[in-house]
Amino acid sequence: MSGQGKKAIHNTYTHAFYSESVTYLDTCVQSCVLIVAYRQGTNIRLTHRRF
């Protein structure tokens, strides 16, 4: 797999999306709700929670 600039890590009940953009939002394929979005270093970490 080659790095496309962003990495999507899928956990059991958590979806973590990393992006270099401050205003970045990715749509989950499954029903998710945005729990928290904060800056981690130079990346944005978006945590989603499944219903």
DSSP code string of 3-17: --S-EEEE-SSEEEE
3-state secondary structure of 44: strand
**Averaged pLDDT for residues 4-9:** 48
29 DSSP assignment:
S
pLDDT reported for residue 46: 52
Average pLDDT, the chain: 45
**pTM over 0.75, yes/no:** no
Q: Please state, in angstroms and as integers, the Cα–Cα distance from residue 20 to each residue in 7, 11, 17, 28, 47, following that order.
A: 10, 21, 10, 18, 15
pLDDT reported for residue 30: 39
Q: Higher model confidence: residue 31 or residue 48? A: 48
Instruction: Work out whether strand 7-10 and strand 43-50 pair parallel, antiparallel, or are unpaired.
Output: unpaired
Would you say residue 45 has pLDDT above 50? Answer: yes
Would you say residue 29 has pLDDT above 50? Answer: no
